[in-house]
């Protein structure tokens, strides 16, 4: 598919890394199709990460993801989901390759700078979670 969904997570935004992260996204060939600065309520963060409900890190993740503003965006590129996950690197920044967004800008496993969809289906679901049809270009 040609689309994926990303969030710049609260710590990365607070650290003023939105500019450098978006620059990396553009330089890797992704086109921004939708974007907003917003703060999730705990209820919204819980719904977004519902797949992880019951896991030991779920409640802390929900608290963290609702703790401050995030940037949500829809990105377009051929092979978007796979190529974006390569650009961001492993979930745990300790395992992320040199030059990836998480290696450069993550502060911990939880506060790992960005989210990236793991499938075309989830990219569509996650994009719909944040953006109406009139907010996409
Ligand atoms: P994302 O969905 O944010 O792109 P991912 O697909 O790489 O990340 P998931 O396994 O879906 O990783 O986990 C979602 C998020 O939950 C991770 O990005 C991270 O912030 C947090 N997380 C995952 N595993 C742990 C853990 N063991 N301890 C703390 N936080 C975790």
- What the chain holds in terms of domains, given with CATH numbers, is 3-135 (3.30.70.141)
Tell me the pTM.
0.97
Catalytic residues: 115
Q: Is 112 in the pocket of ligand 1 (CB under 6 A)?
A: yes
What would the pLDDT profile of 82-135 be if each residue is shown by its tens digit? 999 999 999 999 999 999 999 999 999 999 999 999 999 999 999 999 999 999
136 is in an annotated binding site: no
- Angle value at C-alpha 79, between 19 and 10, nearest 5 degrees: 30
CA quadruple 45, 51, 53, 57: dihedral sign:
negative
16 is in an annotated binding site: no
Å from CA of 110 to ligand 1 middle: 6
What would the pLDDT profile of 30-85 be if each residue is shown by its tens digit? 999 999 999 999 999 999 999 999 999 999 999 999 999 999 999 999 999 999 99
Q: Residue 121: how many CB atoms within 10 A of its CB?
A: 11
């Amino acid at each position: 598919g040609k689309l994926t969904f990303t969030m710049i997570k609260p710590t990365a935004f607070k650290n003023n890394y939105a500019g450098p992260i978006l620059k990396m996204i553009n330089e890797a060939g992704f086109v921004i199709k939708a974007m907003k600065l917003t703060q999730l309520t705990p209820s919204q963060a819980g719904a977004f990460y519902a797949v992880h409900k019951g896991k030991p890190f779920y409640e802390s993740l929900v608290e963290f993801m609702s703790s401050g503003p995030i940037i949500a965006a829809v990105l377009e590129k051929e092979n978007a989901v796979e190529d974006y996950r390569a650009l961001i690197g492993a979930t745990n920044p300790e395992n992320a390759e040199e030059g990836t967004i998480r290696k450069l800008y993550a502060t911990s496993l939880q506060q790992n700078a960005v989210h990236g969809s793991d499938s075309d289906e989830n990219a569509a679901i996650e994009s719909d979670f944040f953006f109406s049809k009139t907010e996409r270009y």
